[in-house]
Structure 1
Amino acid sequence: MARASDTLVAPRVSPPDLPPRLDDARPARGADLLATALDLQDTVDLAHSSLEQCTISADADSVDFTGATLIDVAMTDARVASLRLRDASIRRVRITGGRLGTLDLSGARIDELELRGVRIDYLNLGGAKGTDVEIAECGVRTLDMPQAELTRVRFAETRSDEVDPRGLRATHVDLRGLDAGAFLDANSLRGTTLSSFQVQQLAPVLAASIGIRVID
């Protein structure tokens, strides 16, 4: 019987708590927005802003949420070349559908984040501290997680060409639903959960990392 500490714990992700009525609002750097609907276009600066109980639609070149606080926010079918959430504080945020060139979550503090059905060229979680994250039905060309601290994270039906986990600190991180073309550092997957098939794929890399030569 597995010990309690060995049992994989799923992320606890709930939908954003949104009011029945939302007012339209104009984006601005440092804005304090409550119960609003934002339609973002071109280049948008919302750095160090506060958004609570908001919805976001976007067809933009760049959207900057650097240092912002987002609580109970839903983004649907957005098309953004660069979505920056560097050093942001995130709680109950859901991004559904759409296409993102870069999704920069480096240094972010994340508590309940769901990415579902999103196509992303570059997803950066470097140095992020994330708890309760669900990434499902997504296509991610490059996934970077160096020095990230992740707890209760699950991938489902998601594909990535390249994953960089160097320095990752993982607790209850389920990678079984991540079809990765390559992991840049298999040694950094300590603490994650993989399927037997994934382990077989990684066997040559793991063997090389501890000095084993494999010759048929």
Structure 2
Amino acid sequence: MTAPQQLADLPYADTLRPFEGEFGDGEDDFDAVHFDGTVFDEPSLGGARFMDCAFESVSFEGGRLRRSRFSDVWFHESRLISTDLAQTEWTDAAFVAVGAAGIQAFDAQLRRVVFERCKFDSLNLRGARLVEVVFDHCLLRDADFGGAALTRVSFPGSRLVDADFTKAACEQVDLRGAQLGITAGFEALRGTMIDSTQLMELAPALAQSLGITVSDI
């Protein structure tokens, strides 16, 4: 999967209309809306629906969008800070050059989602379900995949720092080409694919998690 790089690359670009107004004014369904350069301060829009929408240079500062649904949406050069995205649903979504910190996305559902050149700090995906998701050249710092289900997920060129996979369920997860800074949940790597270099780097932690003592004396 590849992410559209420009607004004009979106198949629904010609149908977009500019966003006017504010969140919370009674509208909770957004169809073919272009959010451009808008700053949303503590938006409260739980259960909203976004379809064929583009978010460009947008900033979410806090706020609650829990249980919202996003289908065919595009985020470009935007920021999400301490935003509640728990139990949200994402289908056919793309994030390009997005920065996010303190995001609560536990129990979220992500299907056919691509993250490209994104930076995440403290991303909570506990209990989430990810199917056909790509993290392409992303930085994931303190990402929590505890109890999540990952199916056909890949991390090409990405860097994981202090990632937690405790009790995660992995199926056809491709970790090749990523820098793996995993601190917990090594037993959950069953069902993943790694390269020989990564195996050498992970060997001490894998041995420790299996209770294997390595000694040359």
2:37 maps to 1:42: no
Contact 1:85 1:104 in 2 (8 A): yes
Which secondary structure does the structure 2 equivalent of 1:44 belong to? coil
Give the count of matched residue pairs.
205
Question: For the structure 1 residues 40 and 63, does the alpha-carbon distance in structure 2 shift closer, same or farther, using more than 3 Å as the test?
Answer: farther
Tell me which residue corresponds to 1:20: 14
Q: Which has the higher strand share?
A: 1
Tell me which residue corresponds to 2:124: 124
What does the per-residue CA deviation read over 1:57-114, in whole Å, with 9 as the maximum and x for residues that have no partner? 3223224321001101001111221233210111011111132113332101111111
Tell me which residue corresponds to 1:7: none
Higher relative contact order (CA 8 A, sep 6+): 1
Whole-Å separation in 1 of the counterparts to 2:11 and 2:128: 24
Contact 1:13 1:92 in 2 (8 A): no
What does the per-residue CA deviation read over 1:14-40, in whole Å, with 9 as the maximum and x for residues that have no partner? 766524131223323760110111234
Tell me which residue corresponds to 1:90: 90
Contact 2:112 2:132 in 1 (8 A): yes
Tell me which residue corresponds to 1:111: 111
Pairwise CA distance, 1:137: 1.2
Contact 2:39 2:61 in 1 (8 A): no
Tell me which residue corresponds to 1:133: 133
Could you tell me which runs of 5 or more consecutive residues in structure 2 were left unpaired when the two chains were aligned.
Answer: 5-9
Alignment of 1:67-86 (within 5 A): 67-86=67-86
TM norm structure 1: 0.86
Tell me which residue corresponds to 1:6: none
Tell me which residue corresponds to 2:154: 154
Could you tell me which runs of 5 or more consecutive residues in structure 1 were left unpaired when the two chains were aligned.
Answer: 1-11
Tell me which residue corresponds to 1:214: 214
Contact 1:154 1:177 in 2 (8 A): no
Pairwise CA distance, 1:202: 1.7
Whole-Å separation in 2 of the counterparts to 1:30 and 1:197: 51
Work out the percentage of aligned pairs sharing the same amino acid: 26
Tell me which residue corresponds to 1:177: 177
Aligned amino acid, residue 152 of structure 1: R
